[in-house]
Amino acid sequence: MGLETEIKDIETNLREIAKGLLKEKKVDVIIGYMEGTLPMLSQPIIIDNEEDVDKLLWNNLCYVNLAKYLVPRVPRFVDPEKGNLKVGVVSKGCVGRALIHLASENKINLDEITIIGIPCNGVVNRQRIEMEIGEKEILEVSVLGNNVIVKGKDFEKEFPFDEYMNDLCKGCKIRKPPLISKYPDLCVGECEEYSSIVDEFTDIEEYDSKTPEEKWKYITDALSVCTRCYACREACPMCYCNLCFVDQNKPIWFGKTTDLPDVIVYHLIRAMHMAGRCVACGACSLVCPMGIDLNKINRKLEKIVKERFGFTSGLDPDAKPPMVDFKMEDAEEFMLEED
Amino acid sequence: MTEPSVEIKQSENKEWEPKIIAFLCNWCSYAGADLAGVSRIQYPPNIRIVRVPCSGRINAYFIIKSLTDGWDGVLVSGCHPGDCHYISGNLVARRRFAILKELLEFFGIEPGRVNFMWASAAEGERFAVLVRKATEIVKKLGPNTKFEKKW
């Protein structure tokens, strides 16, 4: 079974489930993906009646993390009379994780949402394809067999999907939204119960073996192109602060220029804030107009949190997030000690 | 009319000394530093002390802003685990410090610039020893140039 038929199956299932939910009035609105206005993109859509169900779409270009629209709720999700509407969220693994993690931070009430689980097989790394095609305009993108086919005015190119998948998706262990036994009505569609995730961080271990100079060079090369457009912040479901630290001007914590030190500080602090919260959806890297690979930083954080605190984000809505929690026996090998 | 031209020049053979900003918690480490002073225990004059209510008050912003502002090193000291005046401030802070230290290493910034320690109000001697150690570590790393803006 090729990727093409797999996607079609998922899509028909998704539409059926969505139709059923709206018919039985189990949800008031559904947020999902629809065809984007540009060939390589998909965009979110909010539907509230059965006729629109056919607009829902699932393919390997649906990279937006829809949890972003729940915190804070977009106006369409709030009724002036009824208050918060019940929202069905079309969820791949990472969207489900984000919703559950946001619930553990008391940002989402799980009674007010329904997770429509779909098994995700990874999203295409848009930037890599765009970079290979270069200046030419892409007019049509389709999936045939296991290949992504990109068509333009006078060219047609095939990209093997396995190779042009987003790096994070290659090693993804949570492809379906997590099933929470305490909330049996939360998930419809395909969900899975996860007990323990075995994740190998070979990519990060390889990076860690570099010398400090090599690391500094890698980071400065990667981040020097950053224009601080904050697309990564806007796409991230975990960035919901009313006032972001970079926008604060009393006190002005960090410079607002795109000079290297300021850029590095921005990414350093952003990483600090993501510790134990990142759900590895990769949205930040995929929206980056400069193609900066932020996945590496996020993977490192996942590794630190997993090794030090034994925590994986987004699997348990009742767990305390690791950065507001502590254990008496936490490792402190980095503290200064008398000889 | 001619002004005497006074050349202020640091003598060449004078060794470079790092400047370290030290965040000390009010209840243990600040008192520990005080005790070290009262007991006439010598420790390097490189540190400039900022008193904070608790090590849990210390945000990563403080530490990174210190580095961007040109301090060569940052030292953070709090009560020993279990002795916090606010019960668990230092334990929450410890997790934060662990992440920050590993992230600095990941970014290729010398993690030795940022040092963490515990010192109680009765440990003037320990305070002096650890400040000496931190100063040595930072001195070995040399001036902090990674956050310098190039014009």
Residue A190 and residue A116: Cα distance in Å, rounded?
Answer: 8
With helix as H, strand as E and coil as C, how does A2-30 read?
A: CHHHHHHHHHHHHHHHHHHHHHCCCCCEE
- Reported confidence tier of residue A145, pLDDT bands at 50, 70, 90: confident
Here the ipTM equals 0.91
Of B64, B116, B147, the CB nearest to A269: B64
In-domain check, residue A312: yes
Q: Which residues 2-31 in chain B show a CB within 8 A of chain A? A: none
Say yes or no: A301 contacts chain B, CB-CB below 8 A.
Answer: yes
Q: Is residue A216 part of a domain?
A: yes
For the entire predicted model, the pTM comes to: 0.92
* Residue A149, SS3 per DSSP: strand
Q: Does A183 touch chain B (CB under 8 A)?
A: no
What would the pLDDT profile of A222-251 be if each residue is shown by its tens digit?
999 999 999 999 999 999 999 999 998 888
- A218: containing domain: 202-324
Does B110 contact A212 at a Cβ distance shorter than 8 Å? yes
For chain B, which domains are there?
Answer: 20-140 (3.40.50)
Buried-state track B33-47, b at ≥16 Cβ within 10 A, e below 16: bebbeeeebebbebb
* pLDDT (average), residues A135-147: 84
Query: Is the CB of residue B85 less than 8 Å away from at least one CB of chain A?
Result: no
Mean predicted confidence (pLDDT) in B68-85? 95
Question: Measured between alpha carbons, how far is A33 from B19 in angstroms, rounded to an integer?
Answer: 54
Contact assessment for residue B23 and residue B77, using Cβ atoms and an 8 Å cutoff: yes
Say what percent of chain B tops pLDDT 90: 87
Is A284 among the domain residues? yes
pLDDT recorded at residue B10: 55
Q: Residue A306: its chain B contacts at CB < 8 A?
A: none
Residue A288 is assigned to a structural domain of this protein: yes
Please check whether residue A135 lies inside any domain of the structure: no
Cα-flanking dihedrals φ and ψ of residue A271, to 5°?
-65, -40
A267 part of a folded domain: yes
Q: Which amino acid is at A188?
A: V
Are the C-beta atoms of residues A315 and A178 closer than 8 Å to each other? yes
Model confidence at B1, pLDDT cuts 50, 70, 90, reads low
How far, in Å, are A234, B102, B104, B133 from residue B112 at the CA level? Answer: 33, 11, 9, 11
Minimal CA separation from A172 to chain B, in Å = 22
d(CA A190, CA A167) in angstroms, rounded, equals 24
Nearest to A335 among B61, B116, B149 (CB): B116
Residues whose CB is less than 8 angstroms from the CB of residue A263 and which lie 6 or more positions away in sequence, other chains included: A223, A224, A226, A228
Nearest to A253 among B61, B101, B133 (CB): B61
Which of A259, A322, A335 is closest, CB to CB, to B149? A259
Orientation angle between helical segments B60-68 and A260-274, nearest 10 degrees: 170
Determine the average pLDDT of the residues in A146-173: 87
Predicted pLDDT at B13: 62
pLDDT in tens, A42-85: 899 999 988 999 999 998 888 899 999 998 899 999 999 989 99
Question: Is pLDDT of B6 > 70?
Answer: no
Q: Is residue A206 part of a domain?
A: yes
Provide the number of structural domains found in chain A: 1
A216 to chain B: closest CA residue: B108
- Report yes or no on A213 lying in a domain: yes
- The answer to whether A229 and A289 have CB atoms below 8 angstroms apart is yes
